[in-house]
Amino acid sequence: MQENPDIPAISDDDALTQLHPNHIKVLRIKTIMASLPILIAALILESSAILPPAFIMAPVALLVVLVILRLPLRRHLARGYAISVDRLRVVRGIWMRRDTVVPFSRVQHIDVNQGPIERFYGIATLTLYTAGMHNASVNLPGLGEDLARQMREDIRQHIKRESV
């Protein structure tokens, strides 16, 4: 297969584009919401007076605060993407690193998704659905809303040109 010199190739050495800074805020809010049941359980155990005061709640609260401050930042920094004329590369993962390249010729359809928290912070998730069974969809969260919509249109135009 010959490579077209006009189309930039994506390699592992290419610098990745970081996600929108508001992505960290959204991840922190989601982490807070996920940690609420743990805090409530610790509070219930604390109120049972089986152990001395603050024996359960203090360490749990400290651990939750550390997780809320550190984990979303690490998750944000572990994600990135690179886009070229004919493909999108999405990298993610702290411990288990996943590097996915999606050729636009394999894309079946594209979505831009926003939940209420993402909408409030002006970010969105771009989802590419591809032909085939393995990794049939690739999500790229944390994009600015306008950028996600522009990327969707650029990819859609590429697919439209290729199908003609």
Query: Are the C-beta atoms of residues 106 and 128 closer than 8 Å to each other?
Result: no
Q: 80-163 belongs to which CATH class?
A: mainly beta
- Domain layout of the chain by residue ranges: 23-75, 80-163
pLDDT truncated to tens, each residue of the chain (164 aa)? 334 444 445 555 568 999 999 999 999 999 999 999 999 988 888 887 777 777 788 899 999 999 999 999 999 999 999 999 889 999 999 899 999 999 998 899 999 999 999 999 999 999 999 887 676 899 999 999 999 999 999 999 988 887 76
The contacts of residue 17 (CB under 8 Å, 6+ apart) are 80, 81, 82, 83
* CA distance linking residue 49 with residue 163, whole number of Å: 69
Closest to 138 in 3D by CA, of 108, 158, 94, 95: 108
Phi, psi of 144 (to 5 degrees): -60, 145
Work out the angle at residue 141's Cα, subtended by the Cα atoms of residues 76 and 128, and round it to the nearest 5 degrees: 140
The contacts of residue 73 (CB under 8 Å, 6+ apart) are 24
